[in-house]
């Protein structure tokens, strides 16, 4: 039996889940993860990488009025309590407001003409570090990776050079870059639970 670790890019899974009009919550994440292993694989751990929603106060772009984002990490804490799960947190940074449409539709702008812009920091690095750790420690034979981010390619190459197999998960409506497929050993399609 091949020993595996499943690594899930939360941003990728959330996007595909919402496109399929499914609810994104800890139970859904767990159900997707548990569909990834084959019967001849022994699951060591499920690592989930994501950021908590942004929480903080900012000034609106036109009126200057204060606006509070009520971010909560309760769902991440709930996920971390599930069997075999470990949550690796990045940071979500507020980067200001951007127009809803370009070019701007009106010369009389309101706060409603803008939307907040956020940037996720540190998630890709954490995925890469964990892949490298598993490769160096040889604690698993396979990395099962759910991502669409090509930033993972160097870590995938490292794992394969160290003798691990890399399985790339394809969800319904996935858009996998050719580089991801080129640097994986297997492509595994997983249906929605």
Residue 108 covered by a domain: no
pLDDT in tens, 91-126: 888 999 998 888 876 678 889 889 999 988 888 899
Long-range pairs for 186-189: beta carbons < 8 A, 24 or more residues apart: 188/36, 188/38, 188/144
Domain that holds residue 43: 2-91+120-189
Checking if the pLDDT of 25 tops 80, the result is yes
Any idea what the CATH number is for the domain that residue 44 is in?
3.40.50.1010
Which run of H or of E encompasses 165?
strand 165-170
User: Rounded to whole angstroms, how far apart are CA atoms 60 and 109?
Assistant: 12
According to the model, what pLDDT value does residue 27 have? 97
Residue 112 covered by a domain: no
For residues 9-24, average pLDDT: 96
Residue 168 covered by a domain: yes
DSSP assignment of 101-161 equals: SSS-S-SS--GGGEEEEEEEESHHHHHHHHHHHHHHHT--SEEEEE---GGGHHHHHHHHH
Q: Which residues contact 149 (CB under 8 A, 6 or more apart)?
A: 9, 11, 12, 124, 127
Residue 46 covered by a domain: yes
According to the model, what pLDDT value does residue 181 have? 95
According to the model, what pLDDT value does residue 31 have? 98
Residue 143 covered by a domain: yes
Residue 103 covered by a domain: no
Q: How many CB atoms lie within 10 A of CB 162?
A: 14
Residue 73 covered by a domain: yes
Number of domains in the chain: 1
For residues 158-176, average pLDDT: 96
Residue 15 covered by a domain: yes
Place of tokens 């809803």: 100
pLDDT in tens, 60-88: 988 999 999 988 899 999 999 999 999 99
């Amino acid at each position: 039996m091949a020993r595996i670790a499943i690594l899930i890019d939360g941003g990728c899974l959330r996007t595909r889940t919402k496109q399929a009009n499914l609810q994104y919550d800890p139970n859904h994440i767990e159900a997707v993860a548990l569909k990834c292993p084959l019967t001849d694989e022994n699951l060591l751990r499920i690592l989930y990488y994501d950021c908590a929603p942004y929480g903080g106060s900012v000034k609106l772009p036109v009126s200057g009025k204060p606006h509070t984002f009520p971010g909560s990490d309760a769902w991440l804490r709930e996920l971390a309590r599930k069997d075999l799960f470990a949550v690796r947190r990045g940071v979500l940074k507020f980067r200001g407001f951007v127009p809803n449409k370009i070019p701007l539709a009106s010369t009389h702008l309101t706060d409603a003409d803008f939307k907040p812009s956020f940037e996720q920091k540190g998630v890709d690095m954490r995925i890469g570090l964990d892949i490298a750790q598993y490769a160096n420690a040889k604690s698993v034979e396979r990395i099962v990776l759910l991502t669409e981010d090509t930033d993972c390619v160097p870590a995938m190459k490292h794992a394969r050079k160290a003798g691990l197999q890399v399985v790339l998960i394809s969800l319904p409506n996935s858009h996998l870059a050719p580089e991801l497929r080129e640097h994986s050993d297997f492509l595994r399609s997983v249906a929605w639970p």
